[in-house]
Amino acid sequence: MLLSFFVLCITLTSLALPSAVTCCPPAELAALLSIKSSLHATQVGVFDSWSGHNCCLMWYGVTCDPETGSVAEVTLRAISEEPIFEEATKPGYMRGIISPSVCQLKNLSSLIVTDWKGIEGEIPSCLTSLSSLRIINLAGNCLSGMIPKDIGKLSRLTVLDVADNKLTGCIPGSITRLSSLMHMDLRNNQLTGRLPRDFSQLKMLSRALLSGNKLTGTIPSSMSRIYRLADLDLSMNMISGRIPASLGKMPVLETLNLDSNRITGPIPASLIRSRMSNMNLSNNGIDGAIPDMFRSRSYFMLLDLSFNNLRGKVPKSLQKASFVGHLDLSHNHLCGRIPSGSPFDRLEASSFSFNDCLCGMPLEDCKENH
């Protein structure tokens, strides 16, 4: 019956009738029905429209290529403004697994199944056989297991987002072969091991978000050769060693978050002289003095150096910065008089508290020997 219906669709299309419809192949229809059977949405009717023999005709979240009739996109988001979600009495929740049958959608370019909380199981390893994939977004579920080791086969992939799951194991080395990747989000999983050394191969990468895992080892200096990287978040891991000075020479890096790791050594002067606008190095073991090398083009929306082992004085050159929004130097071993003028005259005491012997506004007045 499926085959005869598919033949009918092809016939209508070839006749170029005004009422011609695009029909998905029988194998892809069967694959979608298998996906449906492995997932159960109890509060919202995302699969209510998944009936009949034409998955290209108003199946919720399914988009077909208008020329070939093959399924091009599957988009199932739990957070949406679609009418079916407005009618639901409770937030979207789905349980089950992502069926390996998804790999029968041979021309799939986008797979988005996000924020359902109850979807378990592993990421189907066969996804790496879908050479047309450009987007994989499986964030906000309860997926376990490892990132497929052959993920690097997906040469067209631009987005890989598997944040907020329970993935384990190491970041596969093949991930650095994703030459088209622009957005990598692996946050809030249980990933272990070191960062791949040859990160510099990801020439198109603009965001690398890896916080909230159990990553160890040092920050590869090769990361500084990703010239398009604007946002690097390695916070809340167990990364150790020193901050590569080359990170401060990256041309478009705007955000660097290394909060809550085991980083030691001094702050490279290149970071202070960089074009970054958000820098969080808090909750580490960073020592030495804060480089007194701020200048007129320094523009920090956030500069957080709290909970480290920094010593010396508060840099007077901070007065030269064109803007400093949130500044936190608390919980260090800084000493001496806090400079006056901008930006110090509008900062609160909490920006400087719990140091060894800082004084002056907004803290207590200095004694004569300061």
Range of the domain at 273: 266-370
Rg of the chain in Å (alpha carbons) = 26
Please choose, from the candidates 247, 248, 280, 244, the residue with its C-alpha nearest in 3D space to the C-alpha of residue 265: 244
Domain annotation covers residue 258: no
How many domains, the chain?
1
- The pLDDT, as a whole number, for residue 17 is 35
Q: Do strands 278-280 and 299-304 pair parallel, antiparallel, or not at all (unpaired)? A: parallel
pLDDT of residue 20: 43
The pLDDT of residue 16 is 34
In whole angstroms, give the CA distance from residue 76 to residue 50: 12
Q: Is 126 left (phi over 0), alpha (psi -120 to 50) or beta?
A: alpha
The distance in angstroms from the start CA to the end CA of the chain is 90
pTM over 0.85: yes
DSSP-derived pairing of the beta strands 240-241 and 214-216: unpaired
Tell me the C-alpha to C-alpha distance, in Å, between residue 209 and each of 88, 256, 313, 370.
33, 10, 33, 43
Taking 3-state DSSP, the helix, strand and coil percentages for the chain, each rounded to the nearest 5, stand at 20, 25, 55
- CA–CA separation, 229 vs 190, rounded Å? 24
Tokens 């167990």 sit on residue: 238
Residue 256 lies in a domain: no
* Residue 370 to residue 356: CA distance in whole angstroms: 13
Per-residue confidence (pLDDT) for residue 369, from 0 to 100: 60
Q: Report the C-alpha gap between 162 and 171 in whole angstroms.
A: 12
Peptide bond before 343: cis, by omega within 30 degrees of 0? yes
C-alpha 277/C-alpha 17 separation (Å) is 58
| Inside any domain, residue 177 | no
SS (H, E, C) 329-364: CCCCEEEEECCCCCCHHHCCHHHCCCCCEEECCCCC
In a domain, 319, yes or no: yes
Q: Does residue 275 fall inside a structural domain?
A: yes
**Cα gap 323→205, rounded to integer Å:** 28
With respect to residue 338, please indicate whether it lies within any of the assigned structural domains: yes
Per-residue pLDDT of the chain (370 residues; tens, 9 = 90+): 444 444 435 433 433 333 344 678 999 999 999 999 999 887 778 898 999 889 999 999 999 999 889 999 999 998 765 655 555 445 557 899 999 999 999 999 999 999 998 999 999 999 999 999 999 999 999 999 999 999 999 999 999 999 999 999 999 999 999 999 999 999 999 999 999 989 899 999 999 999 999 999 999 999 999 999 999 999 999 999 999 999 999 999 999 999 999 999 999 999 999 999 999 999 999 999 999 999 999 999 999 999 999 999 999 999 999 999 999 999 999 999 999 988 998 899 999 999 999 999 999 998 866 5
Residue 72, domain member (yes or no):
no
Phi, psi at 90, each rounded to 5°: -135, 160
- Whichever domain contains 346, its CATH number is 3.80.10.10
Does a structural domain hold residue 316? yes
Instruction: Identify any residues that bridge with 254 across adjacent strands, giving them in sequence order.
Output: none
